[in-house]
Amino acid sequence: MTPIVRYAPSPTGRIHLGNARPALLNWFYAKANGGQFVLRMDDTDVARSTREFADAIEADLSWLGVRPDSLVRQSERTQMYDAARDRLMAAGRLYPCYETGDELDRRRKRARALGNPPIYDRAALRLTDEDRVGLEAEGRRPHWRFKLDGRPVQFNDLIKGPQTVNTASMSDPVLVREDGSYLYTLPSVVDDIDLGITHVIRGEDHVSNSGTQIEIFEALGGKVPDFAHHNLLTDAEGQGFSKRLGSLSLSDLRTQGYEPMAVAIMAVLTGTSLPIEPYSSFAEIGEKLDLSMISHGSARFDPAELDSLNARILHAMPYADAKPRLEATGLADEAMWNLLRDNLHKFDDIRELSKLVTGPVAPVIAAEDREFITQARELLPEEPWDNDTWSEWTNALKENSGRKGKSLFLPLRLALTGRSDGPELKFLLALVGRKACLDRLL
């Protein structure tokens, strides 16, 4: 069976690292199993969904490396939801309710005060035709609830193992609002059936929804897909990411210069048993990652780990991969890349670092090193230079000055680069060349 999976964001905001997790888990699952990945925009909430957010989500996913096989928008599929609604009504599974939000609130409070669970009491099922006519004459419009079976719904979660959702302890969910628009629950099932979704991979905040939705799949005679509910990414304090949490939106991470691969690995491998380290490709991750590797515990995101992973990815990046990006900044030079990449935290650091080779550099020469640097200038070997030039030069300097270790090397580094850390001087020297070195040793 060819898997067909879907990622179903609501385009009511930009997506963040936590939203990238189900996107990538679905993507890897599809790619590793020769399947299809559907991007489904859950945009039935017309008041909050916008086309701009939908387009931005597509762009964010594309930056991350996720390329959907197809795209559907729920706002364009209303007729199918209407047909499903009518079938559920005809089967007596959808019933009209007239309570206002305030009335429901009051009933919930009363139930709590009496020590009862605050679930909907199905009062609307007891309304007579006459009652309904009366309520509508008052100007009330019904919202529609799905009548749950009240049986324990069981399914074998591909991540969490056997699950039981007891729908008897849940309120009958509202599927259709007063204005006739749909909440997420029904359209999702209708689409999953219509698109032949075989696996629903989503956050564990949806486990009880799955119980409800399995009942709806069955009521509509659709094939129930396999479910896999993953742990949710949280911040270091264990708090969930909200869509409004700016700094971890994918677009902000992009602006901050993180590699999409680093962001993807953090989003998907945090809270799994697969190590967080550079991988050569998404295909490699897809092959190694199995849903069973996702922890049943928490998935805490550590920003320091993102920084260090980002740096490690750059340190291991072959020139061929960096070249197109270096060309855009006029810095495509293989020897320079190979020397400098070990010092990168973000790719764009290359602009500053390359100045160590191309200049300008502001040499730092302490008063007590002045004489030593003059000596270094005089002893700088003539060209042509090779791999031994550095040791020839520093050996001669050692003998002449009596300096060694840090007092020999640090003043040279400060003079040649203007900073106390950086790439290996031996290789840097060769790239800088004799003339520029002489200028820096003044």
Write down the least CB distance from residue 350 to ligand GLU, Å.
37
Write down the least CB distance from residue 188 to ligand GLU, Å.
5
Count interface residues toward ligand GLU (CB under 6 A). 8
Instruction: Tell me whether residue 42 or residue 58 sits nearer to ligand GLU (CB atom).
Output: 42
d(CA 169, CA 191): 27
Annotated binding residue 160: no
Stretch that binds ligand GLU, among 8-16, 121-129, 136-144, 419-427 (CB under 6 A): 8-16
Stretch that binds ligand GLU, among 2-10, 102-110, 115-123, 416-424 (CB under 6 A): 2-10
Write down the least CB distance from residue 10 to ligand GLU, Å.
4
Stretch that binds ligand GLU, among 5-13, 280-288, 325-333, 353-361 (CB under 6 A): 5-13
> Residue type at 115?
G
Residues 175, 146 contacting (CB under 8 angstroms): yes
Write down the least CB distance from residue 148 to ligand GLU, Å.
18
Which residue do the tokens 């890897």 mark? 28
Write down the least CB distance from residue 344 to ligand GLU, Å.
35
Would you count residue 10 as binding ligand GLU (CB under 6 A)?
yes
Would you count residue 173 as binding ligand GLU (CB under 6 A)?
no
Would you count residue 42 as binding ligand GLU (CB under 6 A)?
yes
Number of continuous H segments (helices) and E segments (strands) in the chain: 20, 12
Residues 42, 19 contacting (CB under 8 angstroms): no
Q: Is 149 exposed, middle or buried (0-12, 13-18, 19+ CB in 10 A)?
A: middle
Spatial neighbors of 125 by CB under 8 A, at least 6 apart, are 95, 147
Stretch that binds ligand GLU, among 7-15, 108-116, 255-263, 431-439 (CB under 6 A): 7-15
Residue 183 sits at the vertex; the CA angle it makes with 180 and 186, to the nearest 5 degrees, is 100
d(CA 283, CA 68): 15
Would you count residue 8 as binding ligand GLU (CB under 6 A)?
yes
Residues 139, 183 contacting (CB under 8 angstroms): no
**Which token pair is 389?**
């030039």
d(CA 261, CA 283): 12
Write down the least CB distance from residue 202 to ligand GLU, Å.
4
Stretch that binds ligand GLU, among 3-11, 43-51, 323-331, 363-371 (CB under 6 A): 3-11
HSE of 27, CA atoms in CB hemisphere, 13 A: 23
Write down the least CB distance from residue 294 to ligand GLU, Å.
16
Instruction: Tell me whether residue 111 or residue 232 sits nearer to ligand GLU (CB atom).
Output: 232
What DSSP string runs through 197-236? --EEEEEGGGHHHHHHHHHHHHHTTPPPPEEEEEPPEE-T
Instruction: Tell me whether residue 199 or residue 413 sits nearer to ligand GLU (CB atom).
Output: 199
Instruction: Tell me whether residue 183 or residue 332 sits nearer to ligand GLU (CB atom).
Output: 183
Which residue do the tokens 């790439």 mark? 423
Neighbours of 2 (CB within 10 A): 10
Options 184, 319, 409, 427; binder of ligand GLU; rule CB under 6 A: 184
Write down the least CB distance from residue 205 to ligand GLU, Å.
8
Options 49, 163, 188, 212; binder of ligand GLU; rule CB under 6 A: 188
Would you count residue 314 as binding ligand GLU (CB under 6 A)?
no
Which residue do the tokens 């849903």 mark? 291
Would you count residue 350 as binding ligand GLU (CB under 6 A)?
no
Which positions from 189 to 218 touch ligand GLU by CB under 6 A, shown as an x/- string?
-------------x---x------------
Would you count residue 95 as binding ligand GLU (CB under 6 A)?
no
**Which token pair is 207?**
């486990």
Please compute Rg for the chain using Cα positions: 31
**Which token pair is 42?**
């859950």
d(CA 289, CA 275): 10
Stretch that binds ligand GLU, among 4-12, 112-120, 246-254, 264-272 (CB under 6 A): 4-12
The residue ranges that bind ligand GLU (CB under 6 A) are 8-10, 42, 184, 188, 202, 206
Q: Which residues are annotated as part of the binding site for ATP?
A: 243
